[in-house]
């Protein structure tokens, strides 16, 4: 029986996948299968990741798309990690003054054309393929194109998210036409096709990034956005053709491993700051579950307060990354934590949970890729160009309309991103790739996942399955798998406890370990996906 009950997605555990040669883990079974097919055909980890993410852009339209952004960490065997920043920039005419003149005062609505920065994913994909791919793009996109043109079956969690967003989709004529056939959301097991998206993928495979950022597609997207009041120009889009760029990862050490993240404008810095604070405490098995949740909550509030005040495009940040990652900073923040009492909540006005896909892959040669692609909110801005079939993201809604703020919108500026791939090294060698989905939760989720692995010695799948909590907007949200006694204990410490009505985030993980030096792969049961290996 097919179910879309919320409680079913907190689901029972599944075993960790053991693989000898290569592995891939994604949040959708068709994407995992597409990536595994490439690995079996001799493709490398980057090939598999690109095949998988292109497939997810078709089969998980609420979570991701070619009209979004991405960040990637890639560790070639025996070489340093490279970080790819595939986040787009605001139009050259965008500024706090311009948006306030257009009638915006406090925030940028997710459905506004101003929430759409120039999408960066396609620029990143094509650059990564040119530099690290081994199979042609048309081969890598074959499954995605087939599903787009000939249809794919709606998976259960996909249907669950689709149903949640139906009222918002119905408010946009184009979104309704593409995603609410007959005025209703599609259900699990039904079939959906996006032939225009298939055509875009064919074009990108044949002509590279220019097929998206120049010519007919770009002209159509600019015309469509201008019709919604946007400030975008053809020059803004053309500048993104080669706009994705490589940068150097940032890192911290935790319990004998080095955790690497992309630098700002992503919130990977927040994940590392959280781990630095947790490093000041003993989080072994002797710590009670209530203490563990409380400690994570208090550390999260401290770090997110700093994140929202200080993070943005690095060109606008006033506090150095090195300062925020310094041991003395962690010690000073950790000193504010009272294990017996929740501190007064720290409020911020960032959007709540948003939507993303994360995947990871390791190939026969030991190359590792950690890959995250996002349209931010579910179905992004809900704005879809009817001529091209491109659903546009809402990442620009993260910008502040506060002059002088590090994350204030400005010409050509990149907003603070929540999406963060992670990578693990031991004594210099890459030993794992991981990521957590769930918008604002991602930094907190990564810290909890790494703590489960390294502080508690949990099996990878068990670490992913573990109950989740998130201190956000003055509340402590907990999944219903926590015992009532833990909820009562936390409420007694002053937390405003809230029961989660949907799963908190999702995760994928591949690590190398064990006596046989196998790949251990895991995928979150809160999503439809799976991990597979060969």
What's the rounded mean pLDDT across residues 324-351?
81
Residue 71, token pair as written in the block: 């960040």
pLDDT value, residue 285 = 87
Distance CA 110, CA 130 (A): 33
Crossing angle for the helix pair 121-132 and 195-207, to the nearest 10 degrees = 40
Phi, psi of 533 (to 5 degrees): -150, 170
* Residue 360 and residue 371 in contact, taking contact as beta carbons nearer than 8 Å: yes
pLDDT of res. 349: 40
Round to whole Å and give the CA distance between 124 and 83.
11
Please answer whether residues 329 and 279 qualify as being in contact, where contact means their C-beta atoms are separated by less than 8 angstroms: no
Distance separating alpha carbons of residues 445 and 372, to the nearest angstrom: 15
In angstroms, rounded to a whole number, what is the distance separating the alpha carbons of residues 497 and 488? Answer: 9
Residue 51 in tokens: 């095949």
Taking the C-alpha atoms of residue 181 and residue 295, their distance in angstroms, rounded to an integer, is 47
pTM to 2 decimal places: 0.94
Backbone angles phi, psi at 212, to 5 degrees: -100, -40
Instruction: Average the pLDDT over 475-482 and give the result.
Output: 96
Place of tokens 């990521």: 435
The model's pLDDT over 253-305, given as tens digits with 9 standing for 90+, comes to: 999 999 999 999 999 999 999 999 999 999 998 999 999 999 999 999 999 99
Mean pLDDT, rounded, for 170-177: 97
Residue 22 tokens, joined: 């290569």
Q: Please give the order of strands across the beta sheet that includes 82-86.
A: 245-247, 82-86, 69-75, 368-376, 355-362, 23-26, 530-533
**421 with 320: CB under 8 angstroms?**
no
Closest CA to 267 of 199, 314, 330: 314
Q: Which residue has the tokens 């249809």?
A: 151
Banded model confidence at residue 9, pLDDT cuts 50, 70, 90: low
The encoded tokens of residue 442 equal 């991602």
Give the per-residue pLDDT at 11: 53
Find the DSSP H helices in 403-493. 441-454, 460-465, 484-492
Please, are residues 11 and 4 in contact by the beta-carbon 8 Å criterion?
no
pLDDT digits (tens, 9 = 90+) for 20-51: 999 999 999 999 999 999 999 999 999 999 99
Instruction: Tell me the pLDDT tens digit for each residue of 115-160.
Output: 999 999 999 999 999 999 999 999 999 999 999 999 999 999 999 9
- The pLDDT of residue 460 is above 60: yes
Task: Locate 120 and state its tokens.
Answer: 């960066």
C-beta contacts of 324-333 below 8 A and 24+ residues apart: 324/269, 324/273, 325/250, 325/252, 325/269, 325/272, 325/273, 325/276, 327/276, 329/273, 329/276, 330/273, 330/276, 330/277, 330/279, 330/280, 331/280, 333/273, 333/277, 333/299, 333/302, 333/303, 333/306
pLDDT the model gives residue 12? 57
Sequence-separated (6 or more) residues with CB below 8 Å from residue 372: 70, 71, 72, 356, 357, 358, 359, 419, 420, 421, 435, 437
Average pLDDT for the chain: 94
Residues acting as catalytic residues: 356
Q: Round to whole Å and give the CA distance between 195 and 403.
A: 43
Main-chain dihedrals φ then ψ at residue 315, nearest 5 degrees = -65, -15
Q: Where in 349-428 does DSSP place strands (E)?
A: 355-362, 368-376, 421-426
């Amino acid at each position: 029986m097919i179910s879309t009950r919320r409680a079913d997605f907190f689901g029972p555990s599944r075993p960790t996948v053991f693989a000898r040669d290569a592995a891939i883990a994604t949040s959708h079974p068709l994407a995992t299968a597409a990536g595994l097919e490439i690995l079996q055909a001799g493709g490398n980890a980057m090939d598999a990741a690109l095949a998988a993410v292109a497939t997810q852009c078709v089969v998980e339209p609420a979570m991701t798309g070619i009209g979004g952004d991405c960040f990637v960490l890639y560790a070639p065997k025996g070489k340093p990690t490279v970080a790819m920043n595939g986040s787009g920039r605001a139009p050259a005419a965008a500024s706090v003054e311009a948006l306030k003149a257009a009638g915006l005062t406090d925030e940028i609505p997710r459905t506004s054309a101003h929430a759409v920065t120039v999408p960066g994913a396609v620029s990143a994909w094509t650059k990564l393929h040119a530099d690290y791919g081994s199979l042609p793009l048309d081969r890598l996109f074959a499954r995605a194109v087939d599903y787009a043109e000939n249809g794919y079956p709606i998976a259960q969690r996909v249907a669950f998210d689709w149903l949640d967003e139906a009222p918002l989709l119905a408010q946009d004529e184009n979104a309704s036409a593409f995603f609410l056939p007959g005025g209703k959301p599609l259900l699990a097991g039904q079939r959906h096709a996006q032939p225009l998206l298939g055509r875009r993928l064919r074009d990108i495979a044949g002509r590279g990034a220019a097929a998206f950022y120049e010519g007919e597609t770009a002209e159509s997207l600019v015309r469509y956005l201008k019709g919604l009041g946007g400030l975008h120009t053809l020059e803004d889009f053309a500048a993104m053709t080669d706009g994705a760029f490589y940068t150097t990862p940032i890192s911290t050490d935790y319990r004998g491993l080095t955790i690497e993240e992309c630098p700002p404008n992503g919130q990977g810095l927040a994940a590392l700051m959280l781990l630095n604070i947790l490093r000041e405490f003993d989080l072994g098995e002797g710590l009670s579950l209530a203490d563990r949740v409380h400690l994570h909550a208090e550390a999260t509030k401290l770090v997110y307060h700093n994140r929202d005040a200080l993070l943005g495009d690095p060109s606008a940040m006033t506090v150095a990354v090195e300062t925020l990652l310094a041991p003395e900073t962690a010690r000073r923040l950790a000193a504010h934590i009272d294990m017996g009492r929740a501190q007064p909540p720290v409020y911020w006005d960032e959007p709540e949970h948003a939507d993303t896909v994360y995947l990871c892959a390791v190939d026969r040669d030991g190359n590792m890729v950690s890959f995250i692609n996002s349209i931010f909110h579910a179905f992004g801005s809900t704005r879809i160009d009817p001529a091209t079939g491109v659903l546009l993201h809402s990442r620009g809604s993260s910008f502040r309309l506060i002059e002088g703020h590090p994350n204030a919108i400005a010409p050509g500026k990149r907003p603070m991103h929540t999406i963060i791939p992670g990578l693990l090294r031991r004594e210099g060698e890459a030993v794992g790739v991981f990521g957590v989905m769930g918008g604002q939760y991602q930094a907190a989720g990564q810290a909890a996942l790494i703590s489960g692995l390294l502080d508690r010695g949990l099996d990878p799948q068990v670490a992913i399955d573990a109950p989740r909590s998130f201190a956000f907007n003055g509340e402590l949200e907990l999944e219903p798998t926590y015992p009532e006694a833990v909820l009562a204990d936390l409420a007694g410490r002053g937390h405003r406890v809230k029961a989660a009505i949907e799963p908190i985030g999702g995760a994928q993980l591949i690590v190398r370990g064990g006596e046989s030096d196998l790949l251990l792969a895991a995928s979150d049961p809160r999503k439809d996906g799976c991990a597979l290996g060969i």
